[in-house]
């Protein structure tokens, strides 16, 4: 039984394969950009030892240079973390107006920050149909103010 596969079927398979590869590549690039933004925020927080005006200015200037889409996101006031640590929204936080959320996590002698950015796909017709949160933690920092 020697029946050939038609040209239309072969073309449809090729088109589906190209679309799937394109979706995976674009998803990886969008995830990379979201992760890069989280790293920029984490670096500024660690450099200035907290979320203060210096860190905020550096974060905003770097996000402008990267071209981050500052869509407003909704930040929860608290999130739960490992070992029953509760992270509260940072005191100087903008509550998601800049497109990211910064949470302050207190472990007693140490503290760290948890950063939430969003992985967004802007397709003109669909308008942000893909929107996943990405969380990143900063390094633990010693609390010198309360432990002297």
Could you say which DSSP state residue 83 is in? G
Which pLDDT tens digit goes with each residue over 43-79?
998 898 888 889 888 988 888 888 776 777 788 888 8
Per-residue pLDDT at 128? 62
Instruction: Compute the distance between CA of residue 91 and CA of residue 53 in angstroms, rounded to an integer.
Output: 12
Q: Dihedrals φ, ψ of 136, to 5°?
A: -135, 145
Q: With bands split at pLDDT 50, 70 and 90, how would you rate the model's confidence at 18?
A: very high
> What's the pTM?
0.77
90 near 113, Cβ under 8 Å?
yes
Could you tell me where the beta strands, DSSP code E, fall in the chain? 78-81, 85-89, 100-106, 110-121, 130-137, 141-142
3-state secondary structure (DSSP) of residue 56 = helix
Instruction: Compute the distance between CA of residue 62 and CA of residue 30 in angstroms, rounded to an integer.
Output: 17
Q: What number is the average pLDDT over the span 133-138?
A: 86
81 near 114, Cβ under 8 Å?
yes
């Amino acid at each position: 039984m020697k029946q050939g596969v038609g040209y239309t079927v072969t073309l449809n398979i090729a088109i589906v394969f190209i679309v799937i590869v394109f979706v995976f590549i674009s998803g990886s690039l969008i995830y990379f950009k979201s992760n890069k933004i989280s790293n920029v925020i984490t670096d500024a927080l660690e450099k200035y030892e907290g979320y203060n005006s210096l860190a905020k200015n550096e974060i905003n200037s770097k996000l402008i240079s990267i071209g981050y889409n500052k869509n407003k996101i909704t930040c929860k006031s608290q999130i739960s973390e490992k070992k029953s640590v509760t992270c509260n929204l940072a005191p100087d936080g903008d509550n998601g107006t800049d497109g990211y959320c910064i949470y302050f996590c207190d472990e007693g002698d140490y503290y760290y920050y948890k950063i939430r950015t969003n992985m967004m796909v802007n397709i003109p017709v669909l308008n942000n149909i893909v929107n996943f949160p990405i969380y990143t933690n900063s390094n633990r920092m010693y609390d010198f103010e309360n432990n002297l």
